[in-house]
Structure 1
């Protein structure tokens, strides 16, 4: 990773920390989020993954307006650092602790890598 990529990655992490802290307070079942990117194809390669505790909580969230609100908040936090996401619905993914435990024995690094 180039020095400029590392700096951008850190800015993204800080912006998404604000999103995460807000979601923890407002969204039932939300646990944490992470991001990944291939900086040679940035920003189209940026992927934000939001993690919920159970599939039941995730499905309730996806059926609510909170889904669009969270996506909008992600866009709003990234915009001041110069990141404009054209297809937010494709670049925000959702997963659960329940599924990670079931399919990857709780190994998030492996689960996120398998994509």
Structure 2
């Protein structure tokens, strides 16, 4: 029996592709949005799947979550999941928002 990681390798590749498209779209639309990442335990898929949207500051994150940007990020995440065929009961349970922490001893963003 194949390992869960091997079983879902195609899903993982497609998810990365669709989330990359969501990320690029959001960068042009949402002030302060920097990047997103996802984590998943394929032993408990799709319940464990979580996408984290990263911002450059608490102020930008708060502004985005207080307005229509939050709904946009949820919609982009849901569209990415749908394109891959991942079905979840509540997209909000699979999305988190955070602020990028600068690396220690480094000046500026360097990106």
Quick check: TM above 0.5?
yes
| TM-score of the aligned structures, taking structure 2 as reference length | 0.84
Measure how far apart 1:13 and its partner are.
Answer: 0.5
**What RMSD, in angstroms, separates the aligned Cα atoms of the two structures?**
1.7
Deviations 1:32-69 (A, max 9, x none): 00001011111111000000000000000000011012
Aligned residue number for residue 9 of structure 1? 12
Max Rg structure:
2
Q: Which residue of the other structure, out of 74, 80, 98, is the alignment partner of 1:95? A: 98
Q: Name the CA distance, whole Å, in 2 between partners of 1:105 and 1:5.
A: 35
Give the total of aligned pairs: 102
Greater fraction helix: 1
Worse-superposed segment, 70-79 or 40-49: 70-79
| TM-score of the aligned structures, taking structure 1 as reference length | 0.81
Q: Name the CA distance, whole Å, in 2 between partners of 1:69 and 1:9.
A: 23
Q: Which residue of the other structure, out of 57, 66, 69, is the alignment partner of 1:66? A: 69
Q: Name the CA distance, whole Å, in 1 between partners of 2:95 and 2:5.
A: 24
Deviations 1:60-101 (A, max 9, x none): 00000110121012111221221012121121001112xx23
- Structure 1 runs (4+) deviating above 3 angstroms are none
Q: Which runs of 5+ in 2 are unaligned?
A: 106-111
SS in 1 for 2:51: strand
